[in-house]
Amino acid sequence: MKILVVPMFFFLLLFAGCRERKMNAGFDVEAAMGTNEELVFSEMFDSLACVPLETTDEALLGQGAYVAYADEKDVFIRYDSRIYHFAADGSFLNSIGQKGDGPREYAILYSVSIDARDKRLAYYVGQGRIQYWDYNGTWLGEKILRADGELTDVYECGGRFIAENRLYTEKGLFTYLCIYDADGGLLHKVPIARDEQSVNISLYTVPIMYFFSGAIRYKDVNSDSLYSCSGDSVAVICRFDLGKYKPSRELLEDMNQRETLMEDCVQLVDIQESQENFYLLLVYDYAVRGVVMDKATGAIRYSKKMVPPQKGGGITNDVLGGCFWPSFVGDDNALYQLLLLENISDKGKQYIAPHAIRDHLMVEDANPILLKVYE
């Protein structure tokens, strides 16, 4: 299949619209661990837009940077506990937030929610604290979400905050999804799971939370269920079955069991979701495996050990060079990734040069190329 390469800023409308597909209820991830299915970029994707990101002293992106959010006007890159804001043509606009111990700073940036309608970002910085910033990097204020126990991750969506709440007690672990209103008031506390196992907690685990089609997807690390949270409703939409590889909570949370966890058990550490597929990252036997599963059938389309995407791993990109793995999926079902210039092949440079809007910025040590693709 020939890939159509077009400039990011003048991206062509190639499809009539996204089709809703019925989702399979269960996904056999255990089977994927013993499967090797190879795909290359041109077999997965029909169109590709690419644009170099402007390189300045204030916006040098290193290995580990990834797309946190993008649309037809703005691109937000997360790198080194900050957000870097670019225009859709790759021009650098500003950075947002500052790591530190002072006022309007944060020690850890746990999660970022971008509100394109109100043009603001909500940073969850721990201890129930939400910091607000506008697109220009101006501080807008702070809110506190209160809960018993620990809020491990928080996302804002549609005027609601969705937060995982873990409460460790003498009777075991209680896990809830808490839904807060725009002012931080608790609306609902939905029980997700509980167990009676007492564990000496020394490993910090986090849930998987991400945006998809106007909702928040959520997966507790201690269960197989993937939830969809929209408005005030919470529902299980599918399950990922790890089978014999599923770790216990003791293995997930006890540093003394880390060797067993890393060698014998599978950890599902990331999910990216498109209309067609789930893109899963799993850790097993001290290695990362990428798995692509068809949402409608549960079929395994791709399963392979690979270098972590933060270090350039993924599906072999036979068009531009390097590899591809999405770090963000937009509302228009576009999949985004950053590709380091050093990984682009000579063939890839020939593809990019006639189409890149800011091709004069493609110099040694420049920022990566932003890729936008459609399945």
356: confidence class by pLDDT, cuts 50, 70, 90: low
Q: How many percent of the chain have pLDDT more than 70?
A: 91
Average of pLDDT values for 346-365? 67
353: confidence class by pLDDT, cuts 50, 70, 90: confident
Buried b (16+ CB within 10 A) or exposed e, 21-39: eebbeebbbbebbeeeeee
**How many Å from the N-terminal Cα to the C-terminal Cα in the chain?**
12
What is the DSSP code string of 80-120?
TTEEEEEETTS-EEEEE--BSSSTT-BS---EEEEETTTTE
**What single-letter DSSP state applies at residue 329?**
E
**Distance of CA 113 to CAs 119, 133, 262, 290, 292, Å?**
11, 11, 31, 25, 25
Residues 64-94 pLDDT 10s: 999 999 999 999 999 988 999 999 999 999 9
What's the predicted TM-score (pTM) here?
0.92
Return the percent helix, strand and coil in the chain, to nearest 5.
10, 45, 45
Please give the pLDDT value at position 253.
92
Residues 210-227 pLDDT 10s: 999 899 999 999 999 999
> Which long-range contacts (C-beta less than 8 Å, at least 24 apart) are formed by 99-104?
104/131, 104/139
Residues 13-51 pLDDT 10s: 333 334 456 899 999 999 999 999 999 999 999 999 988
